Amino acid sequence: MKEIQSLEHHFLIAMPSLDDSWFEKTVIYMVEDNEYGSMGLVLNLPHELTLSQLLEHFELHVEQGLHYLENTVLMGGPVDMERGFILHTPPGQWKSSMPLQDNLAMTVSEDLLKAFAEGTGPEKFKVCLGFAGWKPGQLAQEIQDNSWLTIPYNQSLLFDTPIETTWEVALGTLGISPEFLTAEAGHA
């Protein structure tokens, strides 16, 4: 029997079968994928909030002139949308931070938001509200059902690609042009 490889530290790319769903044309960074289930953060669904507005919500004094204050907060997934998750590099020493691979970390503590307000946060980051979650075996089944493509982690895709082109760029890393995708699953 073939051992299933973890999708941790990979990206999921939504296939057309997910059109008209919450995940239509999304790209998800996979934080965890193990026997307990899977958790990821959607990287290309903009929230109505900017980082500046989020910091104001936490009543943090914001230094003016910081270039990233108008960055869009993302809807990280349909689960627990009141909870924030920040993917960033370098990892730093934040209170509730989980180190990931390739000098990446995920932090869920307010001390990192305070650092952003003061201009002392990490150089590269994505702020997400909510997350995407799957129970054990569910994501593997969705991949088998042709709902997702997977690609390895790529820092440029995570931090440097504009959110409005993330899906197309992710497909492009596989040499796939969106107009050639079909919602029909193919099984040989």
Tell me the average pLDDT across 129-140: 97
CA-based nearest residue to 12, from 162, 120, 138: 138
DSSP structure string for 101-129:
STT-EEE--HHHHHHHHHT-S-SEEEEEE
Work out the mean pLDDT of the chain and round it to a whole number. Answer: 92
10-180, CATH topology level: VC0467-like (3.40.1740)
Q: Is the pLDDT of residue 188 over 50?
A: no
pLDDT at residue 5, rounded to an integer: 83
Rg (CA), the chain: 17
pLDDT value at position 181?
76
17 token code pair: 């079968």
Q: Given a cut of 90, is residue 37 above it in pLDDT? A: yes
What residues contact 128, with CB distance under 8 A and at least 6 apart? 41, 42, 43, 73, 74, 75, 76, 77, 84, 85, 86, 87
At residue 186, does pLDDT exceed 60? no
pLDDT at 4: 58
Question: How much is the pLDDT for 179?
Answer: 80
